[in-house]
Structure formats: C-alpha cells, structure tokens
Amino acid sequence: DAKFAGSEPTDEEKWLIERVNRYTGDYDSIDLSGHSQGGREAITISAMMDDPDKVRYVVSLDGPGYSKEFLEIYGHLIDTEKILHVYPDESIVGHILHSPGGEVIYVEANSSLISNHSMSTWRVDENGNFVQMHDANLISKITRAGTEYLTSKLSPEVLEETLPYIIQLTADPND
C-alpha cells in the first residue's frame, strides 16, 4: 500500500515505535536497519522513539522516502548524521518520494530495474562488502526527479491514492 505517502507515521510505524520503546529500555544504545519499507520504518523509529539519543546508527536498504508534508512536520526530528542509505544502482523503490538526508551509497546489482530491489542481486566482493558505485545511474535520477515532480503537483490524498498504481507499473512481471 502507499500509506507511507501521507503526512503522518503509518499505523505500522506507530506500532513499531511502541515496541522499540518497550523492549529497548534496558539498552544503552541500539542500531536500526531495514530493507524497503523496513528501512523507512527504521528511520521513523529513530526519530520518534522516546529516547532517540539511544540510536547510534540507522541503515535503510533501498527504503522509500517521505512526503513533503511529513518532512515539514517531522523532518526536524530525524538525525541525518546517523543515517546511511544503501541503494542498488538502478533504484526505483528507494527513490520514491523525498529522502530525509543522510549518507548515501550506491551498489552494483546483477539485474535491472525493479529486480534490483531484491538484495540478493546486490554485488558483494570477496570480503562480503558491497561493490559500490560512484553515483546513481540514470534510472535512479529519473525516478527521484519524477516523484519529486509528482509530489509537488499532487495533494497528499491524491498521491496516496495514485502511488500504488505507480509502484505497480514498476513491478517485476516475474514476481
């Protein structure tokens, strides 16, 4: 679904924030990571949990961004110094909506377009490290520019209604 395109945290994000608050009370620090929607949820949790200073590092693996409205309301809570975004070289999902900021790396993938979203296609070297690219490729840049344009023209309600169809257009027909 595209509830993540709204101006408020999703119900899933609120549920996760409550769980992280409940189960990390005894820890001095935590690291958060997630793939796809989980990457976005890791960022949201790091900003909205009861003790965000407890978070040392957040890794979002090809996670989608946020609506302009969400960032206007909550963007000041997001500590971009703690965030690492990892995108495949032809990221589509990770470039939907607006990034809150943070360090970015691009990795080579063994497939193309939406198939790149699967981390099993991301190349690693003999030491288990991602094989990095210097910059996003054209597909990633077009996706980012296109969604930024759409979000500047559509209301949050229309965007939330439209985004599932946009995502469906980019879906891998083999999945």
Measured from the Cβ of residue 96, the count of other Cβ atoms closer than 10 Å reads 25
Task: Provide the Cα torsion 80, 81, 87, 91; round to 10°.
Answer: 30
Q: Where are the alpha helices (DSSP H) in the chain?
A: 11-23, 37-48, 68-74, 138-153, 156-169
Q: What is the pLDDT of residue 160?
A: 74
For the record, the structure tokens of 66 come out as 């946020």
| Model confidence at 172: pLDDT above 60 | no
Q: What is the pLDDT of residue 56?
A: 97
* Average pLDDT of the residues in 2-8: 77
More confident residue, 45 or 155: 45
More confident residue, 141 or 107: 107
* Average pLDDT of the residues in 1-15: 84
Query: What percent of the chain has a predicted confidence (pLDDT) above 90?
Result: 57
Question: 80-133 pLDDT, tens per residue?
Answer: 999 999 999 888 888 888 899 999 999 999 987 778 889 999 999 999 999 999
Calpha distance 98→94 (Å, rounded): 9
More confident residue, 68 or 71: 71
| Model confidence at 173: pLDDT above 60 | no
Confidence class for position 14, pLDDT limits 50, 70, 90:
very high
- Per 3-state DSSP, what percentage of the chain is helix, strand, and coil (rounded to 5)? 50, 20, 35
pTM: 0.85
Q: What values do phi and psi take at 93, rounded to 5?
A: -55, -45
